[in-house]
Amino acid sequence: MIIILLAGMIVCAVACIVLGNLVKAGVAMAATSAILSIVMFILKAPLAAAFELSVCAGLIPVIFMSTISMINVKSKEEIEEMKKERKKRFFLFPVFLIILGAVVLAVMWPHIVDFSSSYIIPAFTRNVRDILWNSRQIDLLGQIIIILAGVFGVIIFFKESVEE
Amino acid sequence: MSLLFVIFIISVVLIFAIGIYSLLVTHNLMRILISIEILTKGVTLLLIVAGYISKNMAMAQAYVITVIIIEVVLMAVATGLVLGLFRANGTLDTRKMNR
C-alpha cells in the first residue's frame, strides 16, 4: 500500500515539472501534498497530516491559482514555441535523476545505516502539544514572527499595486 | 534496516532530485516556486520517516508543522513578488528580466 502511495507521489512530482500548463502543474502539486498527507497518516503522524492536507493541499494551490489567473494568457504561437523548448529541456532528466540519486545515496548510505541502527529511542509518551508548548517555545515564537513578516510583506505588495 | 526504510529513503532522494532538476532547467518564476514546493515535500517526508524510525514522532510532527508554516508564508510572499515582477516586466521569464 505504502509503496503504491510513494510511487504515486513521485509520479505527481514529475507531472508538476513536466506538464506545460501551469494550472495542471498546480493541481499535480496539490495531489502530491494529498498523497504525502496519506503517508503521514499511515506513519502515525495525524496532526502533521491534517496540517499538510489543509495548508499544502488546500491553501497553497489556491494562492497559486489566484496568481496564475492574474497573469495574462499567451498567444497560441508562443505556447507552441514553449512546448518545443520544454521537450528539449527534459531530454536529460532521466540521466540526471539516476546520476544524482546514485551519488546522494552513495554519500548518505553509511550515515543512514548508522541512524537506523543506533538512533532508535525508546517509545516516547509525550505528545505534540507538550513538545510545542513546553520544549520548543522558541519555535512557536519564530513561527509567529514569520507569519507577521509574511502578512506585512503581502500588505506592502498590495499597497504598491493599488498606488500603480 | 528494513526494506520499507530503504524505499522511503530512495523516494526522498528521487523527489529531491526532481525538484533540483526542475530548479536548474526552468526559467519561469512560477515553476521555480513549484520546484521549491517539491523540495519541501522531500524534506517533510524525510522528517516524518526519521521520526518514525527513531520512534520520536511527536518531535518530528512539531518540526513538520514549523516547516509547513514557513512554507506557506514563503509561498504567499513569493507569489506576491512574482505578481509584482510580472506587472513591472510583462513576463515571468527570468532571461528577459535583465534590463
C-alpha cell at A132: 510545542
- pLDDT score at A138: 80
List the CATH number of the domain containing B54.
1.10.287.3510
pTM: 0.81
* E strand or H helix at B93: none
Interval B10-61: pLDDT, tens: 888 889 888 888 888 888 888 899 999 999 999 999 999 888 888 788 888 8
How many DSSP H helices and E strands does chain B contain? 3, 0
Ordered by start, the domain boundaries in chain A are 1-72
Mean pLDDT by runs of 10 across the 164 residues of chain A is 88 87 88 92 88 88 86 68 71 77 76 62 64 77 84 74 54
Matching residue, cell 505504502: A2
A4 chain-B contacts, CB cut-off 8 A? none
B75 chain-A contacts, CB cut-off 8 A? 60, 63-64
- pLDDT score at A20: 78
Q: How many domains are there within chain B?
A: 1
- pLDDT score at B44: 93
- pLDDT score at B36: 92
- pLDDT score at A158: 66
Suggest the residue from A157, A158, A163 to mutate for an interface test with chain B (most B CBs closer than 10 A): A157
Q: Which residue has the higher pLDDT, B48 or B97?
A: B48
Matching residue, cell 540519486: A101
Those of residues 75-104 in A touching chain B at CB distance below 8 A are 89-90, 93, 96-97, 100-101, 104
Judge whether B60 is closer than 8 Å to chain A, CB to CB: yes
What stretches of chain A show up as alpha helix (H) in DSSP? 2-18, 22-42, 46-51, 60-70, 76-89, 93-118, 128-130, 137-163
What stretches of A119-136 show up as alpha helix (H) in DSSP? 128-130
Suggest the residue from A95, A127, A131 to mutate for an interface test with chain B (most B CBs closer than 10 A): A131
Rounded to two decimals, the ipTM of the complex is: 0.89
- pLDDT score at A161: 55
Domain enclosing residue B35, as ranges: 3-96
